[in-house]
Structure 1
């Protein structure tokens, strides 16, 4: 089993709790795990994708905490969820945020799991500081420069139209978004970012202008093969069978950066954790 290959154990008392950010530069997070476990595996740090938040991974994190009896930290990356907003939004900056979070929480080593944007963040952390990463799981993204699907700029435009309309009902926001995205589940996912202002107007908690300007950065990967960076620890790439983000063409790059990488295919599209959570869980455990 992929996660059974984690070798570092440390005594630590656990309790389940959640917290929002307490200062401008700290990441908001939630924690799941057994309360009275005297000895545990390395903790897991779990990162969401673009337009997501720590809430997206609550259900799967509870299941993994139960299965593995370890502490799981769900983070809100910068410019997402309850975390701070900043004009710089790229993988190097987000990786630095994650390492600072690990320092703040006194996490010597962690298993890192990330989906989509979060996947490139955890890959960046592993290549920058391999000694801090006991295992790596990348969910439907690869260490390559690859243009994002054209849907993402469209989502930003639709969300900006919602804010311009100054709607007070989510149903009205959905009607506007429907002009930009036909899929109801995707619209519902985007609408999880809506918050109500003091004047009863709905707006998005993600800074749309920052995210819009950063979309090109989200297509990049901060390292090139010529730099010789590599992470030799246990690595799993989980990919959706109906997604194009981790094609067979990316395998040479994956193996160059992550020579011990294994691949698990899950019957799903890009949003595979929500589309097929049991398939995702099984994919994590089926590799030896």
Structure 2
């Protein structure tokens, strides 16, 4: 990738990373710890009509998301790269099972088991936000499990989530308490906790008709209280010593220019954990893939084509 000159913090050494800016116009065998219980994950499979025969891509969504969020991008990457794409529902999301343990080590357990169960070798792990930290966790503790990773708008550091996330949880709890029967009712309640309509629409994708025929109101398919209690865990990162854990294979970090999750100050620590990392700036907020899909797609395609 071609680096674009840009003023950087004096804390950074230019040899530690590569940077590319994309504007809105461009648009083997391994083991899982027996001490933890991995869950079987739901997934969608995209193979470009059977034409995708390359190494697999595994897509990991963010908090409150699901495999559906990445459907269009998964199809596009499968088409452009001739590679099959597995879009997962992480635990406590989508159609995957629920569990009180929602830490990154548990999310990584599930992901590693999925790779093993489906015999996915030389895979690329792409993760956004929570999914990004999950991909980083897998790569650092089990480097043989994947060929490279793409981390979208998150860094391998302990960093508080945006204050909006507790509000979202509170709003969803209020929706649950109201026992609404329509999405319109839910949206009206949620508006006090999430002002932006796209955010409310994203959260309300989790609101479904109850599978229990005796329940006549809508329910969230995600365990709102479990995820609410796990927000502090989602802010943490399980590794603190890059001298003990490194992923020396290629890694791409994609950050939104209007987001705070991957600041310049985090780049040196990214470089220590992932010494071969490249950085791409995409003009967007935290929701990089939905806000600027074309720029994200081009960044991923270019990076992965370089690896071929």
TM-score by length of 1: 0.89
Q: Name the CA distance, whole Å, in 2 between partners of 1:246 and 1:226.
A: 17
Q: Name the CA distance, whole Å, in 2 between partners of 1:43 and 1:184.
A: 34
In the alignment, which residue of structure 1 is the partner of 2:8? none
Q: 1:194 is matched with which residue: 193, 207, 225?
A: 207
Q: 1:30 is matched with which residue: 18, 36, 44?
A: 44
Residue deviations 1:195-238, cap 9 Å, x none?
11233311111101110110000000000125520001111000
Given that residues 129 and 154 in structure 2 are in contact (C-alpha distance below 8 angstroms), is that contact kept between their aligned partners in structure 1? yes
Is residue 239 from structure 1 mapped to residue 239 from structure 2 by the alignment? no
Q: 1:52 to 1:200 in 2, by over 3 A?
A: same
Is residue 172 from structure 1 mapped to residue 185 from structure 2 by the alignment? yes
In the alignment, which residue of structure 1 is the partner of 2:286? 270
In the alignment, which residue of structure 2 is the partner of 1:144? 157
| Secondary structure, counterpart of 1:236 in structure 2 | strand
Given that residues 138 and 237 in structure 1 are in contact (C-alpha distance below 8 angstroms), is that contact kept between their aligned partners in structure 2? yes
Q: Which runs of 4+ in 1 moved over 4 A?
A: none
Is residue 48 from structure 1 mapped to residue 61 from structure 2 by the alignment? yes
1:265 shift after superposition = 0.6
Is residue 104 from structure 1 mapped to residue 117 from structure 2 by the alignment? yes
| Secondary structure, counterpart of 1:187 in structure 2 | helix
Q: 2:245 is matched with which residue: 208, 212, 229?
A: 229
Equivalent residues, number: 267
Q: Name the CA distance, whole Å, in 2 between partners of 1:270 and 1:226.
A: 26
Q: Name the CA distance, whole Å, in 2 between partners of 1:40 and 1:129.
A: 25
Q: Name the CA distance, whole Å, in 2 between partners of 1:88 and 1:242.
A: 32
In the alignment, which residue of structure 1 is the partner of 2:146? 133
Question: What are the ranges of 5 or more consecutive residues in structure 1 without an aligned counterpart?
Answer: 3-7, 9-23
Q: Name the CA distance, whole Å, in 1 between partners of 2:56 and 2:204.
A: 30
| Secondary structure, counterpart of 1:269 in structure 2 | coil
| Secondary structure, counterpart of 2:58 in structure 1 | strand
Q: 1:261 is matched with which residue: 249, 268, 277?
A: 277
Is residue 84 from structure 1 mapped to residue 97 from structure 2 by the alignment? yes
Given that residues 238 and 265 in structure 1 are in contact (C-alpha distance below 8 angstroms), is that contact kept between their aligned partners in structure 2? yes
Question: What are the ranges of 5 or more consecutive residues in structure 2 without an aligned counterpart?
Answer: 3-27, 29-37
Q: Name the CA distance, whole Å, in 1 between partners of 2:41 and 2:292.
A: 28
RMSD of equivalent CA atoms: 1.7
Q: Using CA pairs below 8 Å that are at least 6 residues apart, which structure has the higher relative contact order?
A: 2
Given that residues 80 and 301 in structure 2 are in contact (C-alpha distance below 8 angstroms), is that contact kept between their aligned partners in structure 1? no
In the alignment, which residue of structure 2 is the partner of 1:64? 77
1:107 shift after superposition = 1.1
| Secondary structure, counterpart of 2:147 in structure 1 | strand
Q: Name the CA distance, whole Å, in 2 between partners of 1:256 and 1:276.
A: 29
